[in-house]
Structure 1
Amino acid sequence: MREDYYLGAYWGPRKETALECARRAVLFFHMLERCDPTFAQWYRGGRGSPRDLPGHPVRAEELEWEQLFLRGRNRTDLSRKVIEELGFSEYVWNAKKERTRVELHCGEYSPFGEGNTCLLLPPAEGPARERILSAPVLAEVLTSVATAWDPDYAMASSSEMVDLIEKRKWEVRVGWLTYLSRRLGKLPPLPAPVCIEPVGKLGWLLVLSPEPMTASNPEHVAFTARIRELLDRAGLIERPEPAPASE
C-alpha cells in the first residue's frame, strides 16, 4: 500500500515582518534547489497565468516574496482588516503533473494560533517521488528547512506512521527523519541504526534508517515508537498547548 509521505517543520510564536520572512524563504528555496532538479523553479496561482506553464513563475527574490507574504495575510471576514498577529501564508508548486507543493505559514506571534509551519508535499507518483523519498535527499531538505526557518522541530514521515506514533495532539512528531532544535533540550543516547548529524549550531538531524520507514512494517513502527519514548523521557517531545482564545 502506498503511504502519504510529507515533510513538516513547526515552530511557535515568532514575530517577523514580511521582509524577514521573505529573506528566510529566499534562503530556503536557494538551498532547496540543490536538493533535486525539480526544485529549480516554483509557481503560484492567480488569474492570467501562462497556459503553457503550471502557474505564475516565482523568483527567489526578497521583494517578490515580501509581496507574496503581504498579499497572503490573514484578514477578518467582514471588514477585511489585516490580523497582524496571525502572520503570513503562501503556497507554491513546481509542475502541472507530478508536482511537489510547498506551504508556508510564518510570522505568526499570537498565543492562540496553531503555530508557524513549512510543509513540503512530494508528488503522488513518478520518478521525482522516488528520488525525493530517499534518506539522502530528505536529509538535505530537512537541513535546508532547519537552516532557513530555524523551527523547533521538523520531520519526514508518512501520515500513516504519524497516526500510529503520535500520542498527543501537541507534541514533537518523530518520523523516519527528524530534526530537533537545541532549544528543546539535550539529546539522549539513541540505539543503532539511528544516525545523528549536527545541523550547524541549531540542532540535530536524526535518521532512523537508510531505507524508508513504513507504517505497514511492524518492526518500523516499533522502532519509531521506541525512539519517540526515549526522546520523551529526555523531555524533548512534550509541547505546550496554545493558550485558549479569549472570549
Structure 2
Amino acid sequence: MTATSAPETYPETYYAGAYWGARRESPEDCAQRTAHFLGLLAACDPFLAHWHKPAKTRKDARQLALMPPDVLTLAELFRHGVTREPGGPALEELGFRCSFDNGGASGDCATMRINGGVYSDAVPNHCVLSVPWRGPNADRLLTVSVLLNVVRATVLSWDPDWAVAMSTAYERRFREPHSAPFALGWITYLSNRLGRVPPLPAPVHIEPVEDRGTLIVLTSQRFTAANPEHVALARRVRELMTGAGLMPPIAP
C-alpha cells in the first residue's frame, strides 16, 4: 500500500500593499515619495527603521544602509531599475523598479518592492511591504495599531487608489478578479476617487485619511484565514462593497 503524504501547509504571512493607476513620474519623484514613506515607517515601529540596498550578502548589505533616506541615492536606484528590452532602449512607460530589505533572518525580515512612474495600463504602480510572520517582531507588527499606521503611511506617501494589509492565506483561499481594487483585506484603504464607502456592520471600524479616502478595519484582532468568524465577516463586507460599486463582482 502506497503511503500518501500530508497536504503541504504554509505559514500565514502578511503584507501591506498600495496600488494606483497610470501616473508618469521621474526617478526623482519616486525617490521623494520613497524617502517620505521610509521616514513614516520608521515612526511606526523600530523594526521598520532600518533598510539596506540590495547586495550579494547580508554582510555587504549592512554596509549599504538607506537610513536616513537619501533622495539622490534612492533616485539612482530607481534609475537603474528602468525596464529595458534586451539590448534595446529604456521602456520608461513601464516605470522604475526598486527593492530592498531590512536584513532580518528568514521569517523575521521586512522587504519592500516598488514600481513607480508607470504610465502604461499594462503594469500597475505599486509599493508592497512584506512583514515578519514569526517571532517577537511579528507579534508586535501584526497588530491593528501598527499596521493601521503602516497603511496610512502608504497613503500619505504614494496617494494610491487602493491599499491593504492582507493575509496571504486568505488571499490564496479567496481569489479575486484581476482588476483593482481586487481584494478586501484585514485593513483596506479606498481613495475617494473610487467612491463612497457604505455603512458596514460591527465590529468593522471606518476612519478617514485626511480628505483622501477611507480606511476600513475588519477586526481589532489579528485577522487569520483559520478563523471562520473573520472569514465570514470579510465575505459579508466584500459583498457590501460590491453592492456599492466599489469592488468588482466575484465570478461564480
Normalised by the length of structure 1, the TM-score is: 0.90
**Separation in 1, partners of 2:220, 2:145:** 8
Q: What stretches of structure 2 of length at least 5 have no aligned partner?
A: 1-9
Measured after TM superposition, the shift of residue 53 of structure 1 is: 5.0
> Which AA in structure 2 matches 1:148?
S
C-alpha contact (below 8 Å) 1:157/1:175 kept by paired residues: yes
Q: What pairs up with 1:203-242 in 2 under 5 angstroms?
A: 203-238=213-248
For the structure 1 residues 218 and 56, does the alpha-carbon distance in structure 2 shift closer, same or farther, using more than 3 Å as the test? same
1:192 correspondence with 2:222: no
Query: Any idea what the Cα deviations from partners look like across 1:71-90, whole Å, max 9, x if unmatched?
Result: 111111133x2101000111
1:127 to 1:169, Cα distance in 2 relative to 1, 3 A:
same
Distance 2:180 2:38 in 1: 27
Question: For structure 1, which segment, 230-239 or 146-155, has the greater mean C-alpha deviation from structure 2 after superposition?
Answer: 230-239
1:88 alignment counterpart: 96
2:140 corresponds to 1:135: no
Structure 2 counterparts to residues 50-199 of structure 1, below 5 A: 51=59, 53-54=61-62, 56-59=64-67, 60-79=69-88, 81-97=89-105, 98-111=108-121, 113-172=122-181, 173-199=183-209
Aligned residues: 236
1:11 aligns with 2:20: yes
The alpha carbon displacement at 1:46 in A equals 3.5
Asked whether the 8 Å contact 1:165–1:224 carries over to 2, the reply is: no
Task: Give the C-alpha shift of residue 230 in structure 1.
Answer: 0.5
Q: Determine the structure 2 residue equivalent to 1:26.
A: 35
- Please give the secondary structure, in 2, of the residue aligned with 1:56: coil
- Kindly indicate whether the alpha-carbon contact (under 8 Å) linking 2:83 and 2:91 is maintained by their aligned counterparts in 1: yes
Deviation, structure 1 residue 209: 0.4
Please report how far the alpha carbon of residue 58 of structure 1 lies from its aligned counterpart in structure 2 after TM superposition: 1.4
Secondary structure of 2:231's aligned partner:
helix
Shift of 1:153: 0.6
- Taking the aligned partners of 1:221 and 1:54, their CA distance within structure 2 comes to 40
Identical aligned residues as a percent: 39
List per-residue Cα deviations over 1:80-118 (Å, max 9, x = no partner). Answer: x2101000111111124121001111100112x220111
AA aligned opposite 2:97? S
In the alignment, the residues of structure 1 paired with residue 146 and residue 81 of structure 2 have an alpha-carbon distance, to the nearest angstrom, of 29
Distance in 1 between the 2:222 and 2:119 partners? 35
When normalised by structure 2's length, the TM-score is: 0.88
List structure 1 runs of 4+ shifted beyond 4 angstroms. Answer: none
Secondary structure of the residue aligned to 2:112 is strand
